[in-house]
Each structure stands twice: as C-alpha cells, then as structure tokens.
C-alpha cells in the first residue's frame, strides 16, 4: 500500500477567491510547490480532493473545471511535480441544480472522495496526510481514517478543527 498527501484545492493549492474556474483567476498559495515536492520525494502520492459546488450551482461546468484542472496539473508538471489524481464533488444538497441537487457521500465532510482514492490507488489512509483549510476537510479526513490531519489556518480559513494540527504556513506540514 502507498501513502498519500491529500490536498484540498481552494485555500490550500490556490487562494480562494470563490468559485475559481479560470486560469486567470487562479493564484497559487505560497509554499504549495515546495510542499508537494517534499512529499513526492518521500514517496507519497499527491491527491487533490475538492468540493466544487460551483458546478452544481450552475456557475461553471464540469468542462470548465476539467480545463482548469489540466492547466493546474501542467503548472505542477513544469516544476516536476505529478498530481496522481484529482477528485471533485459537484453536488450541493440545497443549492445544486438539476442532477447536482442531492445528498451524496463525496461532498466533504463526507469521506467519499478519500475512500474512492484509497480504493483506486491502493492508499494506506492511516499512513497518509491531509491538508485542508475548512473543518469539513478535517472531518472528511478523520472519518476516512487519515492518520495525520493539518488545518491550514490562513486568514480565509473556516473553522477551528481542534483535533487537527494547526499550521499557518505550508512548510510546517511534516512528513511522518
């Protein structure tokens, strides 16, 4: 089994300007490339798990998200970093439209995306690490059994996640 570094996207990989779906609106968080390089060199898979209710709300499409994801992966690849997988949830139980308006097991705080990644990529969740900036990230990781959880407490972070390790810079995230 493999270890993984799970990353939330908005607020951890990029500054969260709200419903980011175009490259011109995407600003990388300081330290994200160095963090990913450290974990990749230590043998961790790099897996993004992101709620994307903007799709469900009709603000942008799955195709828009896919285009931005490919652009983002290319930016990482230019720094010799491989994102092994990107999981996203387009649903929202209250504000979703059409097929996106539903309860699901993938929208964090549910652990579905992490469990799907673990099954698909043969990941040992107990030996893995999650970095998120919302309580829902930490709750999903805890429910999935992720061994180490880091709450990235930047100015836009939401919550207090008392059972996670609080960091204010990404270089504080440690390899187990």
Q: Does the annotation place 82 within a ligand binding site?
A: no
Residue 10: strand, helix, or coil: strand
Q: Does the annotation place 106 within a ligand binding site?
A: yes
Known catalytic membership, residue 10: yes
Q: Does the annotation place 145 within a ligand binding site?
A: no
Task: Take residue 3 and report the two structure tokens written for it.
Answer: 């270890």
Q: Does the annotation place 134 within a ligand binding site?
A: yes
The span from the CA of 112 to the CA of 28, in Å, is: 26
Q: Does the annotation place 64 within a ligand binding site?
A: no
Q: Does the annotation place 51 within a ligand binding site?
A: yes
Known catalytic membership, residue 8: yes
In the set 8, 105, 135, 163, the catalytic residue is: 8
Residue whose entry in the numeric block shows the structure tokens 């709620």: 51
Cite the beta strand spans of the chain per DSSP E. 4-7, 45-51, 85-89, 129-132, 148-152, 165-167
Which helix H or strand E contains 155, and what residues bound it? Answer: none
Q: Does the annotation place 107 within a ligand binding site?
A: yes
C-beta atoms surrounding 110 within 10 Å: 20
Residues annotated within the binding site for substrate are: 8-10, 16-19, 50-53, 107-108, 134
- Residues that are catalytic: 8, 10
Residues annotated within the binding site for Zn(2+) are: 89, 91, 104, 106
Residues annotated within the binding site are: 8-10, 16-19, 50-53, 89, 91, 104, 106-108, 133-134
Residues annotated within the binding site for Mg(2+) are: 8, 10, 133-134
């Amino acid at each position: 089994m493999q270890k993984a570094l799970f990353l939330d996207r908005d607020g951890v990989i990029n500054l969260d300007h709200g419903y980011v779906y175009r490259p011109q609106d995407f600003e990388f968080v300081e330290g994200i490339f160095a963090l990913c390089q450290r974990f990749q060199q230590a043998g961790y898979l790099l897996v993004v798990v992101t709620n994307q209710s903007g799709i469900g709300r009709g603000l942008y499409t799955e195709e828009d998200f896919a285009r931005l994801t490919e652009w983002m992966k290319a930016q990482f690849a230019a720094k010799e970093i491989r994102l092994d997988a990107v999981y996203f949830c387009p649903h929202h139980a209250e504000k979703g439209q059409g097929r996106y308006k539903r309860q699901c097991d993938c929208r964090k705080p549910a652990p579905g995306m992490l469990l799907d990644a673990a099954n698909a990529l043969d990941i040992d969740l107990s030996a893995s690490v999650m970095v998120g900036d919302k309580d829902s990230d930490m709750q999903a990781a805890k429910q999935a059994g992720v061994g180490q959880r880091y709450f990235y407490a930047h100015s836009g972070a939401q919550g207090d996640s008392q059972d996670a390790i609080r960091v204010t810079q990404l270089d504080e995230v440690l390899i187990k």
